[in-house]
């Protein structure tokens, strides 16, 4: 196979959760440009439809499947619909997640539960539902979106770091249990990226100056910086890569 062929995703179906905007949409767009048919997901059907149309306007193959990733029954039903109407899922990117900041001593119990449900339970629900289809076929790529906070902490986000640490270890467990069936399960650990969710931090000059000085690459991440990692882990180029997390962080996790 040629080098370019290793990264070709033509004919493959990719489900990307939480992909109506931000990192999820950027990764879906990247997989689409590599040839995959991408299935976009989110809770709000209107936002998912708008994102899918944006990709179709670019000439990419995009479908939409709005469902709640925290509802296990809805997840199973959606996976069944995708496989029946679009095709077998070859690639899953588990991206859906959220952040809630507060001092740990004041952190509301209900917010803790919300964060755990969205950031951890959903990875289990979607990963399991898709893997059950991939295992009989003897192939599949699962990419779990972790974070630099899978390794590092920051004030006021202890529950978030707990969820992303859990995803890191669930990623390893999936690789261990499902590797023998021909699946590769890996993670991407984004650093600080310019997204809608981080706009307040981008606009905070003191924080932005601190982050840029703290980052060996001396800049914020741009969404396109994640695309190569996503295509690599979704493609045949990573067929013997399993249970790993690729940190796309400008070197933050390498530096004190």
Tell me how far apart the 2 most distant CA atoms of the chain are, in Å.
Answer: 56
SS3 10: coil
What span, in angstroms and rounded, lies between the C-alpha atoms of 98 and 104?
17
- Rounded CA-CA distance 118/126 in Å is 11
What is the set of active-site residues? 160
Using CA atoms, how far apart are residues 250 and 125, in angstroms rounded to an integer?
Answer: 31
Inter-residue contact 221 to 249 (CB < 8 Å): yes
Structure token digits, residue 132 = 């059950």
- The per-residue b/e assignment along 145-157, b for 16 or more CB within 10 angstroms, e otherwise, is bbbbbbbeeeeeb
CA pair distance 247, 103, nearest whole angstrom: 26
* Partners of residue 28 on adjacent β-strands: none
What is the token pair recorded at 92? 């899953």
Contacts of 54 (CB under 8 A, 6+ apart): 25
CA distance 101 to 23: 20
């Amino acid at each position: 196979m040629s080098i370019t062929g290793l990264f070709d995703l033509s004919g493959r179906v990719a489900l990307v959760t939480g992909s109506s905007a931000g990192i999820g949409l950027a990764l879906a767009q990247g997989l689409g440009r590599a040839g995959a048919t991408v299935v976009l997901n989110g809770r709000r059907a209107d936002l998912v439809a708008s994102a899918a149309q944006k990709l179709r306007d670019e000439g990419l193959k995009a479908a939409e499947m709005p469902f709640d990733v925290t509802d296990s029954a809805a997840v199973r039903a959606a996976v069944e619909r995708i496989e029946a109407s679009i095709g077998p899922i070859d690639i899953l990117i588990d991206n859906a997640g959220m952040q809630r900041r507060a001092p740990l001593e004041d952190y509301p119990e209900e917010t803790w539960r919300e964060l755990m449900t969205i950031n951890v339970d959903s990875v289990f629900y979607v990963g399991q539902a898709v893997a059950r289809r991939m295992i009989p076929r003897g192939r599949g790529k699962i990419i779990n979106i972790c974070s630099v906070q899978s390794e590092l902490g920051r004030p006021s986000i202890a529950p978030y770091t707990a969820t992303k640490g859990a995803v890191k270890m669930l990623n390893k467990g999936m690789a261990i249990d499902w590797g023998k069936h021909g699946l590769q399960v890996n993670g991407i650990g984004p650093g600080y990226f310019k997204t809608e969710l981080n706009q307040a931090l981008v606009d905070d000059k003191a924080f932005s100056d601190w982050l840029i000085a703290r980052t060996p690459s001396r800049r914020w991440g741009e969404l396109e910086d994640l695309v190569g990692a996503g295509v690599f882990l979704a493609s045949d180029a990573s067929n013997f890569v399993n249970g790993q997390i690729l940190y796309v962080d400008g070197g933050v996790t390498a530096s004190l």
